[in-house]
Amino acid sequence: MQRYQIKSSFQIRLTTRCVPAILIGLVFTSSAVAATLPVGPGKTYASPCKAFAVAKSGDVVEITGNTTYSGDVCGIAASNLTIRGVNGRPKINANGKNAMGKGIWVVSGNNVTVDNVEMYGAKVADKNGAALRLEGTGFTLRNAFLHDNENGILTGVNTASNILIEYSEFGHNGYGDGYSHNLYIGNVGSLTFRYNYSHDANVGHNLKSRARVNTIVYNRFSSGVTGSTAIGKPSYEIDLPNAGTSYVIGNVIQQPASHSNPTMLAYGEEGASNPGKDLYVVNNTFLNDDSSRGTFVQIGSGVTTAALLQNNIFGGTGTLTTQTSAVQKTNYRSVSPGFVNRSAWDLRPLANTLVTNAGSVPGSSSAGVSLKPVAQYKHTAAGMARPVLGAFDIGAYEAQ
Selection from 185, 174, 89 nearest residue 129 by Cα: 174
Q: What is the CA radius of gyration of the chain?
A: 21
pLDDT of residue 28: 38
pLDDT of residue 249: 99
User: Stretch 192-219: mean pLDDT, rounded?
Assistant: 98
pLDDT of residue 14: 31
Q: Which tens digits make up the pLDDT trace of 285-299?
A: 999 999 999 999 999
Does the structure show a pLDDT above 50 at 15? no
Does the structure show a pLDDT above 80 at 283? yes
**Under the phi-then-psi rule, with left for phi > 0, alpha for psi from -120 to 50, and beta for the rest, what region is 382?**
beta
Q: Which tens digits make up the pLDDT trace of 239-280?
A: 999 999 999 999 999 999 999 999 999 999 999 999 999 999
Number of residues assigned to the chain: 400
Does the structure show a pLDDT above 90 at 302? yes
Selection from 355, 249, 264, 251 nearest residue 308 by Cα: 249
| % of the chain with per-residue pLDDT over 90 | 90
Q: Which tens digits make up the pLDDT trace of 135-187?
A: 999 999 999 999 999 999 999 999 999 999 999 999 999 999 999 999 999 99
Confidence of residue 235 (pLDDT cuts 50, 70, 90): very high
Based on the number of CB atoms within 10 Å of its own CB, is 58 exposed (0-12), middle (13-18) or buried (19 or more)?
Answer: middle
Q: Which tens digits make up the pLDDT trace of 37-88?
A: 999 999 999 999 999 999 999 999 999 999 999 999 999 999 999 999 999 9
Confidence of residue 132 (pLDDT cuts 50, 70, 90): very high
CB 233 within 8 A of CB 203: yes
What is the bridge-based pairing of β-strands 130-134 and 375-378? unpaired
pLDDT of residue 389: 85
The Cα 292–Cα 15 span in angstroms is 61
Selection from 394, 187, 369, 388 nearest residue 311 by Cα: 394
Range with the lowest mean pLDDT among 25-39, 127-141, 381-395?
Answer: 25-39
What is the bridge-based pairing of β-strands 375-378 and 382-385? antiparallel
